[in-house]
Structure 1
Amino acid sequence: MILKFVIRMGLTISEKIEEIMSSNESNTTLYNISSLEHLHAIFRAYRPHNGFGVVYRGQADCHWKLLPKAGRQEYLLPDDRDLGVFKDWLDRAIAYENVPNYFIEQLALAQHHGLATRLLDWTINPLIACYFACCSYPDKDGVIYILELPKTFATVDLSMETLKECSEVISYRPRQFSPRILNQGGIFTIHNPPDTTIDIGPGRIALDMPNLVQIILGKNLKHDILEMLSDYGIDERYIYPDLDGLSRSLNHSMMRMVRQRVERIDL
């Protein structure tokens, strides 16, 4: 099925884009997806162009805000206290594994292990974003965001004190110090303070398009997208390259075999 729609889309990408494009109150460009063909067309249209690239983020519920966990109401603390919680995490984390030497890499490691931080995960791989948009909440429409990264980039030697003085959303491209970051094509936006939203404005790739795009994935597509991703090796074992990910992947394979067996019996 994938090869079929790749070939069909060869000369009709712009037509398909116009067919599913709309706008919304946040001034972002919004695509409502009803087929994998539409999804492929959008990814083709937003390929890197003239040195500018984009990053992707998948969320399993399209109504969730585009904020890091530390910026959400249930975790939001005043006066940079989220960084104090992080310091407490760091003091305890060394009992479990070696941690990087640089502050920003330590913060990224904490983020990937579930701590509420001011980092928001993105990926350079749209298939990874598809996975996170579809892997949970099967009764909810998912969303994929496409973002042109903010121009200001954090360097690896960024200190906690310097970050506290920052008052904008900045970008951070981490070194590949973690298997998860490597496999997930990880990249981050850092929100300062944590509840700071991404400024929406004209894009640098196409000035008539905003720097942030939303793709709404209907809940009816989630299962098919996950099956497609699994066929191409994007599953729990790849996303989480550890024993937990391996177990999740094999459990998924078992359930898939059971479904296929039931379908054959029904025939």
Structure 2
Amino acid sequence: MDAIIKQSKTMDHGTINLTDVDMLHKVFRGFRSHDGFGYVFRGHAQATWDLLPKAGRAEFYLPDNRDLGRFHDWNRYAIAYASPSSSYLDQLALAQHHGLATRMLDWSMNPLVACYFACADHADKDGTVWMYEMGGDGFLTDQITREMLAEKRGVFGYRPKAAFPRIINQKGLFTVHCDAANVIDVKESLVGNGYPNLIRLHIPANLKADVVNLLADYGIDRAHLFPDLDGLSAHINTATSRMRKLGEEK
């Protein structure tokens, strides 16, 4: 394990290169969530994707907190489809959950969930699992208002109420980027072990299928992560494709 972790000292953010599926167990024994107060995990199906919330990316970025104005417009109409929470951040999480470009970025306390998102799509591209020690700038609470959020600067952690089935099954939580284009500040781990607070687990494309098969054995699949009819349909479609591929290989 020491030989693996030492690789994480070679860059501003750490990098660990996955060489086989069994190595996942060693990595995740070294970097744990502790209910969101240690390292948390996010999967990217393409290693080249930026670690930014959608509202911070060029095609959606609105400076001077105008992304909160976009959310305000969304929220005015969303009341027709859902009962709003009394918490401003939970309302923002609901918008994020339904695809609005917000300043929130999804993470999971379960590293296997992140592995699924890193490996289930773009089979021909290398993937990444980001491991981030959350809370460097602190955690936000339910008492945060729009005005208070607009005054914040930095990247904060937020643990939403377990209001949506996806949040529960994915063991989800968020970073909140203020402003939306603010990147995570890479620094030494809070526990002072000499390792950075942000580490990239690089997953080669040729290992993705093996990772997905391993996760299926552990019950991590699209039907579990998206507990609705869309998730069930996607899961059945994926299972059908896998069976056809296995039949062609025999």
**Alignment partner, residue 213 of structure 1:** 199
**Alignment partner, residue 136 of structure 1:** 121
Cα–Cα, structure 1 residues 48 and 133, in superposed 2: closer, same or farther, change >3 Å?
Answer: closer
Aligned residues: 248
**Alignment partner, residue 130 of structure 2:** 145
Deviation of the 1:17 alpha carbon: 4.0
Deviation of the 1:52 alpha carbon: 5.3
**Alignment partner, residue 241 of structure 1:** 227
**Alignment partner, residue 92 of structure 2:** 107
- How do residues 1-267 of structure 1 correspond to structure 2 at under 5 angstroms? 13-18=1-6, 21=8, 23-24=10-11, 27-47=12-32, 53-151=38-136, 152-263=138-249, 266=250
Deviation of the 1:259 alpha carbon: 2.2
Deviation of the 1:185 alpha carbon: 0.6
Could you list the runs of 5+ residues in structure 1 that have no partner in the other structure? 1-12
- Which of 252-261 and 194-203 deviates more? 252-261
Q: What percent of counterpart residues are identical?
A: 45
2:32–2:40 CA contact under 8 A, matched in 1: no
Aligned counterparts of 2:8 and 2:187: Cα–Cα separation in 1 = 18
Deviation of the 1:16 alpha carbon: 4.4
- Secondary structure at the counterpart of residue 202 of structure 1: coil
1:16–1:38 CA contact under 8 A, matched in 2: no
Question: Which structure would you say has the larger Rg?
Answer: 1
Cα–Cα, structure 1 residues 207 and 14, in superposed 2: closer, same or farther, change >3 Å?
Answer: closer
Aligned counterparts of 1:39 and 1:257: Cα–Cα separation in 2 = 25
Aligned counterparts of 1:139 and 1:48: Cα–Cα separation in 2 = 29
- Which of 252-261 and 131-140 deviates more? 252-261
Aligned counterparts of 2:42 and 2:155: Cα–Cα separation in 1 = 16
Aligned counterparts of 1:257 and 1:169: Cα–Cα separation in 2 = 43
Give the RMSD, CA atoms, in angstroms: 1.7
2:33–2:109 CA contact under 8 A, matched in 1: no
- Which of 134-143 and 119-128 deviates more? 134-143
**Residue by residue, what CA displacement relative to the aligned partner does 1:47-81 show, whole Å, maximum 9, x if unpaired?**
357x9521011111111111100001111112211
Aligned counterparts of 1:23 and 1:15: Cα–Cα separation in 2 = 12
Deviation of the 1:220 alpha carbon: 0.8
Letter in 2 for 1:161: E
- Secondary structure at the counterpart of residue 156 of structure 2: strand
Could you tell me the TM-score, scaled by structure 1's length?
0.88
Cα–Cα, structure 1 residues 238 and 48, in superposed 2: closer, same or farther, change >3 Å?
Answer: closer
Letter in 1 for 2:215: L
- Secondary structure at the counterpart of residue 259 of structure 1: helix
Cα–Cα, structure 1 residues 16 and 207, in superposed 2: closer, same or farther, change >3 Å?
Answer: closer
Cα–Cα, structure 1 residues 236 and 169, in superposed 2: closer, same or farther, change >3 Å?
Answer: same
Deviation of the 1:256 alpha carbon: 2.0
2:8–2:14 CA contact under 8 A, matched in 1: yes
Letter in 2 for 1:91: R
Deviation of the 1:182 alpha carbon: 0.6
Could you list the runs of 5+ residues in structure 2 that have no partner in the other structure? none
Cα–Cα, structure 1 residues 242 and 142, in superposed 2: closer, same or farther, change >3 Å?
Answer: same
Could you tell me the TM-score, scaled by structure 2's length?
0.93
- Secondary structure at the counterpart of residue 69 of structure 2: helix
Higher relative contact order (CA 8 A, sep 6+): 2
Letter in 1 for 2:59: E
